[in-house]
Structure 1
């Protein structure tokens, strides 16, 4: 069974509206007068971090990637719960965790630990409170909307190369990314769809277009990159930049800096048109699990 097959089977179980068909970045739960946002991400040794990386950086990133999902919902963090595999360098992990919790002003509410002998896995569940309803989804883009990016892409790619000693660049965009929480909250009342860029801006644009039943016309040259121009194609397909990809009406007055990278069109056989070339499938557009 492939990952896609497994997720399809899970969708048959996730029938509550709060699950959003397992097609969004988070669950959205109406709770009295509040709307709660819940999301969960995992990091696995040998998959999500390099052997030479400090567990302090891994802990920071674990918090950041979860809070980035909350940012895409325009949510304010309420707290996090940790799933932790005990092993070597636990004190380093704790140091990085404390730094991230302090930096993003989010409390640790609980979790679970287990001792393991081999590959370690960490998980985090983040809870947030919606600052605006309806809560943005990745499926609300409408023909005539403009496609925007708040932030840039390619910084994580350069940071990864720097960690490996291949280039002289800032490591932090890869090792200690910053979720765009303030931007997400400010944008939530204005967007028709929003998600964070975790698997590559082109792939995530394809996914948003498909989820919305629309077609995105993207101008690759307009996408801001934090990498040499010679590596633009790579930067557009590299993930983990956690910029916010969103759509908004053409007359929207955006409250935060953003770059227009395309237009939403009526749905067609291909969800993405990249520089006038129609792209049918997601292959080669970014990182696929």
Structure 2
């Protein structure tokens, strides 16, 4: 990739998107996937890891199915002139046979690199993840927790975020949560995670071309305002590209010291004060 000019935004990479048609609750058709892919390109994204649900309610979705349909989707986009690289992956519900299926390759790591795994908790509760992180480490994989800001259990105890990050868990905040599309609490918690320097990825978690479309630029621009350009690029460009290429991510840049500390204090008071009430 050619180096960008000093003020030119690098291309975005999305590590969480339900772009494959007819496989889960995401895109319903090849035409909708085509529309979503064009939206991503228009928004500045050049690479996406598709992440259909696996395990939980989607135990029958196999790794080979995802790989095959990803290949078909790439051919479909190429034939229609949409310049988007599509890589296989999965949004993996934490389940009793997850480690065995990851080890066999039936559950997919992101970009199928056998390095990073997108982990999904049940939306209504939090369960300790340290044992899961240790199991992943033993098979050479790193966990990325998807949309912690929308998990009801974490909303009740947001202090677990810092301890999970210290335990080696990477965090992926949903772009639409960050800009307020999912309501006040996910917005507050998402910004709290980002402004503390605990967010490694902003991603779309897009599910359609009209409802929950794939938008990263708004979140990138807000992150640039709140925490500075280096961290915004790390979350939207550098870190997700490292994952797509199977590389370790670098340490996060420091949060810009002149960021909106008033917002951060307000969010902390809202989250922790409300839980203690």
More strand by share: 1
Task: Identify the TM-score tier after normalising by the shorter chain.
Answer: under 0.3
Task: Give TM-score, length-normalised by structure 2.
Answer: 0.26
More helix by share: 2
Task: Give TM-score, length-normalised by structure 1.
Answer: 0.25
